[in-house]
Amino acid sequence: MKALLKKSSAAEPFSFSFVNDEGKMVLKSENYKAKDSASKGINSVKKNCVEDKRYVLKESANGMFFFNVKSANGQVVATSAMFPSVEERTSAISHVKANVPDCAIEEQIG
């Protein structure tokens, strides 16, 4: 698992995602105006993902399952990929808890 800090041409160009060893996105952020804000978001996910109370379990309108990771102040800092079953979502949460806190951060900002 690693965190990717990215920059795009959007008005708020910075974002991040956490990808597994196969390169598949597990968690993603919203966009940020500043690189520093996106970096703080990564660190917030790394800190808060170990606590069960920081997860909000959701179901999409099309019957897929996902989760949000919230910071201590209740803000959503990352949203997961969509999963076809509750079991796969639960497995993804376990993977996040085990691998995100100590994962490397890779900048892809050109």
Name the residue ranges covered by the structural domains of the chain: 2-108
* pLDDT the model gives residue 109: 84
- Judged against a pLDDT cut of 80, whether residue 28 lies above it is answered with yes
**Average pLDDT over every residue of 84-103:** 97
CATH number for region 2-108: 2.30.29.80
Query: Exposed, middle or buried by CB within 10 Å (0-12, 13-18, 19+), for 16?
Result: buried
Give the total residue count for the chain: 110
Which band of pLDDT confidence, cut at 50, 70 and 90, is reported for residue 30? Answer: very high
Long-range CB contacts (within 8 A, 24+) of 36-40: 38/5, 38/14, 39/5, 39/105
- Maximum CA extent, the chain: 38
- Judged against a pLDDT cut of 80, whether residue 110 lies above it is answered with no
- Judged against a pLDDT cut of 80, whether residue 9 lies above it is answered with yes
What's the CA gap between 109 and 85, in Å, rounded?
A: 34
- The rounded percent of the chain whose pLDDT value lies above 70 is 99
Q: How many other C-beta atoms can be found within 10 angstroms of the C-beta atom of residue 43?
A: 14
C-alpha distances in Å from residue 100, one per residue of 62, 84, 90: 28, 22, 15
C-alpha distances in Å from residue 88, one per residue of 29, 44, 106: 20, 24, 26
